[in-house]
């Protein structure tokens, strides 16, 4: 029982297959933490920019001014790009002298397409976290089963088997399950948190689309100059 059972010793003395499983899980864990930190800062930036644009939109500026400024920003908020796509389609159909219903339908379709594109960007790499959270425990379990099998094969050549001879092999195998859980648990927690945050962002943008559509509907029958000057909570 005087054998070294430290984590490092167990990893170094595990079988090759178990070591490969551990190395793969550690790499996946590192990648998932990279995604987690990227998502934390990315979603915070999206929420901040959306809030800034929403305050600017309801500040009373005209739609034309908002549309002009939205086209000049390289780092525009998702909500701002959604507004720009709807406003651009609305004005294009107005110039073609389409009826009010066609103008509103075109603006809605343009905003819906822009909304889906923005949502795809915000949800990027989220499936990776879901995969890590669901698959990593099973990969770790595979390493454990393989390690236990390897340990028992080695014990079959011994005349007398004691706890001192069994413990190191079993412990080496169980480290793989521990590393699998180490990779999976943060990924699952982060996935649930990010899914909640993205749902809130999507709800905010959908609410803005409805409010902006109502503004366009009130101005659908007005002249182009009057429509362009109608902005804010009117």
How many C-beta atoms lie closer than 10 Å to residue 82's C-beta?
27
Cα–Cα dist 227/208, whole Å? 18
Write the CA distances from 64 to 37, 86, 103, 109, 231, integer angstroms.
37, 12, 16, 20, 8
**Per residue in 117-129, pLDDT tens?**
999 999 999 999 9
**Per residue in 189-224, pLDDT tens?**
999 999 999 999 999 999 999 999 998 888 775 554
CB 27 within 8 Å of CB 201? no
* 29 pLDDT more than 90: yes
**Per residue in 48-103, pLDDT tens?**
999 999 998 998 888 888 888 876 677 788 999 999 999 989 988 888 888 888 88
CB 24 within 8 Å of CB 140? no
pLDDT over 90, % of the chain: 48
């Amino acid at each position: 029982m005087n054998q070294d059972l430290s984590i490092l010793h167990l990893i170094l003395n595990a079988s090759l297959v178990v070591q490969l499983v551990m190395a793969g899980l550690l790499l996946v864990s590192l990648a998932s933490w990279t995604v987690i930190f990227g998502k934390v800062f990315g979603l915070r930036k999206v929420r901040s920019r959306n809030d800034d644009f929403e305050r600017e939109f309801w500040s009373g500026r005209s739609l034309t001014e908002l549309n002009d400024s939205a086209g000049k920003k390289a780092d525009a908020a998702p909500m701002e790009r959604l507004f720009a796509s709807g406003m651009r389609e609305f004005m294009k159909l107005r110039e073609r002298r389409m009826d009010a219903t066609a103008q509103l339908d075109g603006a809605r379709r343009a905003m819906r397409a822009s909304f889906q594109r923005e949502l795809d960007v915000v949800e990027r790499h989220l499936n990776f976290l879901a995969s890590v959270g669901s698959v990593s425990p099973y990969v770790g379990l595979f390493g454990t089963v393989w390690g236990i099998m390897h340990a028992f094969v080695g014990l079959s050549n011994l005349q007398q088997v004691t706890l001192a001879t069994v413990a190191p092999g079993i412990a080496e195998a169980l480290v793989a399950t521990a590393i699998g859980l180490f990779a999976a648990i943060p990924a699952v927690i982060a996935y649930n948190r990010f899914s909640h945050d993205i749902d809130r962002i999507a709800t905010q943008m959908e609410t803005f689309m409805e409010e902006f559509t109502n503004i366009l509907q009130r101005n659908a029958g007005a002249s182009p100059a009057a429509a362009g000057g109608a902005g804010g909570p009117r």
